[in-house]
Amino acid sequence: MLFCKGLPCYGVKESEIATGINFTAENNVRVFGIGDEPKSFTFGDNVYIGEEVKIIGNRVTILDYVKIHNHTFIFAPFPITIGYNCWIGQNVILNAEAELTIGNNVCIAAYTQLWTHIKFGDTLEGCRFNSTNPMIIEDDVWIAGQCVVAPIHAHKKSMAMAGSVVLDDMLENRIYAGVPAVDITHKLGPQFEDVATETKFARMNKYLDDFLAGVGKVPNHGLEVVMGYPENRDPGRTYFNVSDRTYTKRNTEIEQKFMHYLLPEKAKFIPFSGAH
């Protein structure tokens, strides 16, 4: 056994694991490689991995501020990506026997299982169920506890209620429930409602004020809420843009504390790429 970046690793080289700042792995987190091909395990900044989490794969990417709670099992012969600010509950199974892409700000709640394959029965004997397909979980999807999800495309802001068996694609901002899951948005309404940018701006400033009141006086804290980036940005400030949910990441201590304060239910921001 080799310890790579503090993680017990099997079949993985030190150079094949990258961890960001404030990466935390609790007791008995283990990383396993598959076969002899080159591997890549990348963990972003402020990632938390709970006790007894097991990751088996070759190409695993987990971005900033992801929390993966205890006893989760990730099996990834094919690439798996988990985006910014995701929350993975305890005892979750993430299966990537085909590529599994999880977007930003996604919740996969406790005891839920995501499967990219449906196979077991003897095909020689005539079993009709044998398939493996990629799965895409887009931004802001919420899959509640104890769900079983087939290789679907969950469009952004869709939601599956607890205990659902999801066999078909979930459409944008629709809510599904049942076995098999069906669209019940007409009963509950969508997961997200429209919020004016001005309302977001006021609400986010309230979050910032409350946060600063809690941590005490922090002179020159360098945090600012905006409705659009100024033409000449101050490189010494972290801007939180409520128009596109991005922020100018600097990784200052106060910025990280504020991000933790916002997550998971107040607000979620991803780093500004500079592309817009």
Residue finishing a domain among 133, 156, 188: 188
Q: Which of 264, 239, 273 is nearest to 46 (CA)?
A: 264
Residue 126 lies in a domain: yes
Instruction: Report the C-alpha gap between 100 and 94 in whole angstroms.
Output: 8
- Checking if the pLDDT of 78 tops 80, the result is yes
Residue 95 lies in a domain: yes
At 15-48, the pLDDT tens digits run: 999 999 999 999 999 999 998 889 999 999 999 9
* Cβ atoms of residues 176 and 153 within 8 Å: no
Regarding whether 180 and 226 lie in a shared domain, the answer is: no
For residue 216, the model assigns a pLDDT of: 85
For residue 172, the model assigns a pLDDT of: 98
Residue 74 lies in a domain: yes
Q: CATH number of the domain that 103 lies in?
A: 2.160.10.10
Instruction: Report the C-alpha gap between 39 and 263 in whole angstroms.
Output: 31
Instruction: Report the C-alpha gap between 93 and 158 in whole angstroms.
Output: 20
Confidence class of residue 7 from pLDDT cuts 50, 70 and 90?
A: confident
Regarding whether 136 and 27 lie in a shared domain, the answer is: yes
For residue 92, the model assigns a pLDDT of: 98
Residue finishing a domain among 154, 188, 222: 188
For residue 28, the model assigns a pLDDT of: 93
Regarding whether 123 and 39 lie in a shared domain, the answer is: yes
Regarding whether 265 and 159 lie in a shared domain, the answer is: no
Residue scoring higher pLDDT (4 or 196):
196
- Checking if the pLDDT of 5 tops 80, the result is no
- Checking if the pLDDT of 196 tops 90, the result is yes
How far is C-alpha 200 from the chain's CA centre? 22
Percent of the chain with pLDDT over 70: 97
Domain that holds residue 152: 2-188
For residue 217, the model assigns a pLDDT of: 80
Regarding whether 115 and 72 lie in a shared domain, the answer is: yes
At 170-181, the pLDDT tens digits run: 999 999 999 999
Regarding whether 145 and 75 lie in a shared domain, the answer is: yes
Residue 276 lies in a domain: no
- Checking if the pLDDT of 154 tops 90, the result is yes
* Cβ atoms of residues 77 and 97 within 8 Å: yes
Q: Which of 102, 200, 181 is nearest to 142 (CA)?
A: 102
For residue 2, the model assigns a pLDDT of: 59
For residue 275, the model assigns a pLDDT of: 47
Residue 26 lies in a domain: yes
Regarding whether 204 and 120 lie in a shared domain, the answer is: no
H helices then E strands: how many in the chain? 3, 31
The region, left, alpha or beta by phi > 0 then psi within -120 to 50, assigned to residue 36 is alpha
Regarding whether 28 and 79 lie in a shared domain, the answer is: yes
Residue 154 lies in a domain: yes
How many domains does the chain divide into? 2
Residue finishing a domain among 128, 154, 188: 188
At 48-66, the pLDDT tens digits run: 999 999 999 999 999 999 9
Query: Taking the model in full, what pTM does it have?
Result: 0.94
Mean pLDDT of the chain: 95
Regarding whether 166 and 42 lie in a shared domain, the answer is: yes
Regarding whether 139 and 218 lie in a shared domain, the answer is: no
For residue 276, the model assigns a pLDDT of: 43
Residue 42 lies in a domain: yes
For residue 9, the model assigns a pLDDT of: 85
At 213-258, the pLDDT tens digits run: 999 888 889 999 999 999 999 999 999 999 999 999 999 999 999 9
Q: What is the mean pLDDT of residues 112-128?
A: 95
- Checking if the pLDDT of 152 tops 60, the result is yes
Distances (CA, A) of 190 to 151, 171, 184, 210, 263: 23, 11, 9, 29, 21
For residue 187, the model assigns a pLDDT of: 97
For residue 14, the model assigns a pLDDT of: 87
Regarding whether 201 and 184 lie in a shared domain, the answer is: no
Regarding whether 58 and 12 lie in a shared domain, the answer is: yes
